[in-house]
Amino acid sequence: MVHSSRMRSVILVGLLTLTAAAACILPVRRIIGASTLSANAATEPAPAESPQGAVPNPPGGLAVQTPAQALANGQGTGSMALRDVSNAVSLGAVCNDGSPAKYYFRPGTGSGNRVWVIHLQGGGFCYDKASCNQRKSEEPGFLTSNGLPANRQGDGVEAPSPSRPSDFSSANHVFVHYCSSDLWSGDRGASEATGGRQFRGARIFQAVIEDLMDPAVTPSPSLSQARQVLFSGSSAGGAGVLVHLDWLAGQLPGAAIWGVDDAGWFVDVNPIGPSVPSPRQMTQQAYMFWGGRVDASCAAANPGSEGVCYLGPVVYPYIQTPLFVQIAQYDGPQLVGLGITLPLDDKERSFALDFGKAVRDSLTPVAAAFSPATRTHGLLQDEQFWTLPIDGVSFQEALGNWIFHRPGPIKLIGAR
């Protein structure tokens, strides 16, 4: 089976843009937002042992509350309001088209006013002028902040509804709009070489954190007074969590920090499609094109090939801050990107089963994980946060068990 150049370009430009709901419903061949990330990590240097299993006892906040108690003690209500990043243009915190970065914010209430959920939106990437031109044509909303609605209503972990409480219903919620096309990691200005586009995902993230910590922008209690922070991202946003998690923890030494990579865990599997680029070539090309930043420890261990640090199984051992991983064993976007089409032939069925095993194997060293045997994608901001169980336990329950030290499983791997 051979991908046409057109199909390969669509797959790469639209990397992981699909919502979780669509990933569940659509047949695999219709899932355009696909990852082509795969690699053989056997040559990676052996890092020091990661302390991922050591989740700190949360200081204050919602630490001893059940979801029902969190709801009763003053949950957040209403939609999230759009904000401009302060001084975005002067800070270089701008989208591909130079428009100022923006984010949505809903303040916490009651016991949640010193608890924060900061979420990075997903939406794929582009890695050269041609792919970025196609991205602009097909997904223009991911290159700009222009035209965003003034408010948004969250679901999943963001949901304020009493009928769907989460442990973080009353927390401060931040949803950062994705418009840099660089897995939240670029720091390169516009030039002829970039097609006149900025790649400033790293600056955008850091400028948002500065806004949230500044009491002149975010009245007390600001992020600088946080007791607990859940830093999450879905799809491309999950890859951004892997880039920035340890940096964020360093900015907030007085808070308990947890990371959640929701479907941004790109797995080391060689593609079935013969025309799909090598993951190391692609990620390194992207890293160079964006002027990328990755996890500092992983970068130091992989000089000259820092792009591999976008791959979850490669970077995970270097991350020092507690991290929870959600990845479906038959993640639809990744399978499409690796060369799967419908109807499956025998070779593709075998490949899909091998991919599922590779996902399970990649999670062996991960202390906290939720991996359903489905082709779903992001779950954290979807109703399936509550409704898709593994052995009778939802993602919402497993995440709460992990953070709040409740009795119950924190690592669930669905049977294939």
CA dist., res. 158 & res. 164, Å (int): 10
Predicted pLDDT of residue 45: 41
Q: 358 vs 174, 247, 276, 313, 347, CA distance in Å? A: 33, 29, 18, 11, 16
List 325's β-bridge partners, or say none.
261, 369
Between CA 113 and CA 158 the distance in angstroms is: 15
pLDDT band at 276 (very low <50, low <70, confident <90, very high): confident
Query: Which of 180, 177, 178, 182 minimizes the C-alpha distance to 127?
Result: 182
- Give the model's confidence band at 341: pLDDT under 50 very low, under 70 low, under 90 confident, else very high: confident
Buried (b) or exposed (e) across 378-399, using 16+ Cβ within 10 A?
bbbbbebbbebbbeeebbbbbb
- Given pLDDT bands bounded at 50, 70 and 90, which one contains residue 338? confident
Give the span between the Cα atoms of 257 and 388, in whole angstroms: 26
**What average pLDDT does this structure show over 282-311?**
96
Average pLDDT of the chain is: 83
Give the predicted TM-score (pTM) of the model.
0.84
Distance from the first to the final alpha carbon of the chain:
25
Average pLDDT over residues 235-249: 97
The CA–CA distances, whole Å, from 115 to 104, 106, 200, 398 equal 16, 12, 27, 19
pLDDT at residue 224 is higher than 90: yes
CB contact at 8 A, 117 and 173: yes
Q: Which residue has the higher pLDDT, 324 or 28?
A: 324
* Ordered DSSP codes for 265-295: -------SSTTSPPHHHHHHHHHHHHT----
CA–CA gap between residue 388 and residue 210 (Å, rounded): 36
146 pLDDT more than 70: yes
- Report the pLDDT value the prediction gives residue 256, as an integer from 0 to 100: 97
- Name the more confident of 327 and 415: 327
What does DSSP say about strands 256-262 and 323-326: parallel, antiparallel, or unpaired?
A: parallel
Q: Is the pLDDT of residue 104 over 60?
A: yes
Is residue 82 within 8 A of residue 102, CB to CB? The reply is yes
- Distances in Å between the Cα of 190 and the Cα atoms of 22, 186, 201, 213 are 34, 12, 13, 29
Give residue 34's pLDDT.
Answer: 28
Question: Looking at per-residue confidence, does 76 or 209 come out higher?
Answer: 209
Kindly state the percentage of the chain with pLDDT values over 90.
Answer: 67
CA quadruple 104, 110, 116, 122: dihedral sign: negative
Joined tokens for residue 295:
């996890």
* pLDDT per position as a tens digit, 151-185: 998 888 888 766 676 789 899 999 999 999 999 99
Distance CA 241, CA 224 (A): 19
Radius of gyration of the chain (CA): 20
Report residue 8 as tokens: 């390969």
CA 231: distance to chain centroid? Answer: 9
CB 179 within 8 A of CB 96: yes
pLDDT at 274: 76
Using the Cα atoms of residue 323, residue 370, residue 226 and residue 65 in order, give the sign of their dihedral: negative
pLDDT in tens, 251-268: 999 999 999 999 999 988
CA–CA separation, 55 vs 366, rounded Å? 13
Give the pLDDT confidence score for residue 354 in this predicted structure.
94
Supply the DSSP symbol for 160.
Answer: -
How many independent structural domains does the chain possess? 1
What pLDDT score does 392 carry?
96
What pLDDT is recorded for position 280?
Answer: 77
Per-residue pLDDT at 278: 66
pLDDT tens per residue across span 25-69: 222 222 222 222 222 233 334 444 444 554 554 443 333 333 333
pLDDT per residue as tens digits for the range 3-23? 333 333 333 333 333 333 333
What range defines the domain where residue 93 resides? Answer: 5-413
Could you tell me which residue, 339 or 313, shows the higher pLDDT? Answer: 313
The CATH number given to whatever domain includes residue 319 is: 3.40.50
Q: Helix or strand or coil: residue 242?
A: helix
Q: CA angle 29-35-37, nearest 5°?
A: 135
The pLDDT of 209-220, averaged and rounded, is: 96
Quote the CA–CA distance of 185 and 236 in Å, as a whole number: 10
How much is the pLDDT for 165? 66
Are 269 and 338 in contact by the 8 Å Cβ rule? The answer is yes
Token pair recorded at residue 63:
């630490």
- pLDDT at 68 (0 to 100): 37
